[in-house]
Each structure stands twice: as structure tokens, then as C-alpha cells.
Amino acid sequence: MADNGDKTHFGYKTVEADKKAEMVADVFHSVASKYDLMNDLMSFGVHRYWKRFTIECAAARPGMKVLDLAGGTGDLTRKFSQLVGEKGEVVLADINDSMLKVGRAKLQDQGVVSNVNYVQANAEALPFPDNHFDIITIAFGLRNVTEKAKALASMQRVLKPGGKLLVLEFSKPLNPMMQKAYDFYSFQVIPRMGSMVAGDAESYQYLSESIRMHPDQETLKQMMLDAGFDQADYVNMTNGVVALHRGYKF
């Protein structure tokens, strides 16, 4: 289904396109306080490895400007803040104020303050100047965006020439046996875990469905090229359960 028509998908449901952002917002308002704990439980801590690899590929250096888009509770922001140092800047941008509040409180507790700014923004219409950031990351965020093509074009616009976009997202497992086990885990275990830990099975049912509706590796790579990136590639992790897409602007 095109994501720029009147209808779009919210997990497996077909909904009015202009209602999806609100529905996604309800999911993240509901899970914000238990978001970090659920990530560790659901992924057995492996999300930390996926994020570490993303940070390594970003190769942030002192003085750089980094946008952690859909940054939520700030796992990537924390690392970037250390890497870019006092002369650099990290913007943690997210559409959802509950996620931003949890993220800001967590980072302030950890002493991450001086070079981080928090911005409530929709990835589809980024409120930043052209050619502004050296690095943009969007981790487990693009799946939730209604108009992905528009969001990718917006990221391309605010990225500096010579900069790179890193899209960390669930993707399509390479091995069919892996897919079966993963389907069982996603639909039989994760919503129950969501119910027990976050008191919300539905949001975690949405998580599993939205992963299945997200473009696969090659489709997303082509979408990045269509959005104006001069080169794009990707690396599969955990047998393609997750992929890191990289987009370059020359």
C-alpha cells in the first residue's frame, strides 16, 4: 500500500492516513515508562549490540552535529554526546512528548546535559536548516512514520553533503526457519510480555505487526535512493531480523 494516499496501515489494520500518527502516539504514550525494560526483555539485551554497531558505523567525531531522530529514551544520544564532546551538538528529536520526557530525565540522571538539545518534531517535516547535520540516525523509528518517503526526503535535506544517514530497523529474516521461530515469538510471546510488564498487550501486538509491514532490505534501500541519497547500502544483523541501512549524500 502506498503510504502517501488517504489510507495507510497501522500494523495489519488499514486506517485513514491522517489518523496513524495519533494511533502511534497512543502506543508510545502508553509504553514510555516501561520502554527500556521491555527492550531488554524482548530482545534479551541484543538491542544494545544493534545500537553499538550503529554507533560504530556512524563514526562520530568531536565537534560534529548529530540528529538522533525518533530518539525516544535516548540510548544513541547518550553515546553520541560523549563522542562529539563539548564543541559538538546532539539533537534528540521525537514526535512524542512522553518519550522525550522519559529520555530527558534518564539522560539528565546520567549527567548527559551540556551538548544535547531536545526537540519535539515529526520526521516528515524536520524543523532544521538545509545541510545542517553531519550524521542522522533513526533507530526503530521509521517503521512508525506514516509518510516514509517524505521523512527520508526531509532527512536528506537536513544532512550535510559528505554526511550519512543510518536507519536501524527491523527487517526481513534471511532464513525461513528463523522466520517461523521469530513469528511464533513475535505473536505468541511478545504481546503477553507486553501485557505482564507494561500492562499493554495491544501496543506490543502493533510492534510485531508493524515489523511485518515495514519494507524489506532492498525496498528500503531503493526508497533511500529515491529520496535523493547518492548512495545507499545495508548490513544485516541477527540473520536479517534487523538491518542497518546507510544513506550517503555527496
Residues 69, 165: Cα–Cα separation, whole Å: 10
Residue 28 engages ligand SAM in binding (rule: CB under 6 A)? yes
Residue 200 engages ligand SAM in binding (rule: CB under 6 A)? no
Residue 186 engages ligand SAM in binding (rule: CB under 6 A)? no
Count residues near ligand SAM (CB under 6 A): 19
Residues 117, 55: Cα–Cα separation, whole Å: 19
Residues 71, 213: Cα–Cα separation, whole Å: 21
Binding string to ligand SAM for residues 126 to 155, with x set by CB under 6 A, is what? -------------xxx--xx----------
Cβ neighbours of residue 5 closer than 8 Å, sequence gap 6 or more? 17
* Dihedral (Cα; 65, 67, 71, 75), 10-degree rounding: -30
Residue 96 engages ligand SAM in binding (rule: CB under 6 A)? yes
Among positions 72, 163, 215, 240, the unique one binding ligand SAM when judged by CB under 6 A: 72
Residue 42 engages ligand SAM in binding (rule: CB under 6 A)? no
Helix axes 75-84, 46-58, angle to 10 degrees: 30
Q: To the nearest whole angstrom, how small is the minimum distance from the Cβ of residue 120 to ligand SAM?
A: 9
- Taking every pair of Cα atoms in the chain, the longest distance, rounded to a whole number of angstroms, is 48
Report the residue number, 64 or 123, with the smaller CB distance to ligand SAM: 123
Contact residues for ligand SAM (CB under 6 A)?
24, 28, 70-73, 75, 94-96, 99, 122-124, 139-141, 144-145
